[in-house]
Amino acid sequence: MAADPLKILVYSDNARTREKVRSALGKRVHPDLPELSYLDVATAPVVVTTIDEGGIDLAILDGEATPTGGMGLAKQLKDEVATCPPILVLTGRPDDAWLASWSRAEAAVPHPIDPIALGEAVAGLLRAAVD
């Protein structure tokens, strides 16, 4: 029997960014992990409500989203949600990794999205989450 898909929340105000994330990760990020399912979210209030309700295995937040950036949103989620899933932040540039660390995100990948770097980061976070 196949494992239930892992649910990935992808937040960005830009539909193209959300599409790039889904395209980079595909249906399965690694053969050892279950398939992925995606929930696209364009607004911060929906992210907060959805994470608070539970059932999300990983949140990918766009640090360049407006009006609420993913780093501030990551910090808010980590501060306010007791059972917050792992968070990966998409940063504007590699030098912004320190901001992602401040936000308490478990990982950061810079724009433009590199499918290999994103896949490796997501696989690492999901392995830790399902173990």
**pLDDT tens track for 65-120:** 999 999 999 999 999 999 999 999 999 988 888 888 889 999 999 999 999 999 99
Residue 31 falls inside a structural domain:
yes
Query: What pLDDT does residue 1 have?
Result: 44
User: Is residue 37 domain-resident?
Assistant: yes
d(CA 1, CA 11): 31
Q: Would 10 be classed as within a structural domain?
A: yes
Structure confidence by residue, pLDDT tens digits, 5-44: 999 999 999 999 999 999 999 999 999 999 999 999 999 9
Residue 110 lies in a domain: yes
Whether 21 is covered by a domain: the verdict is: yes
Partners of 36 in beta bridges = 6
Q: Are 86 and 51 in contact (CB under 8 A)?
A: no
1 lies in some domain: no
pTM of the entire structure? 0.96
Residue 48's Cβ-count burial label (10 Å; 0-12, 13-18, 19+) is middle
Please state, for a pLDDT cut of 70, what percent of the chain lies above it: 98
Structural domains of the chain, count = 1
Query: For 32, phi and psi rounded to 5 degrees?
Result: -80, -10
CATH for 29: 3.40.50.2300
Domain residues for the domain of 118 are 6-130
Q: Does residue 45 lie within any of the structural domains?
A: yes
CA distance between the termini of the chain:
18
The DSSP-derived string for 10-41 is: EE-S-HHHHHHHHHHH-S-S-TTS--EEEEEE
Q: What is the DSSP string of 36-47?
A: EEEEEE-SHHHH
Q: How high is the pLDDT of residue 98?
A: 85
Both tokens assigned to 10: 């992808």
Query: Domain for residue 46, yes or no?
Result: yes
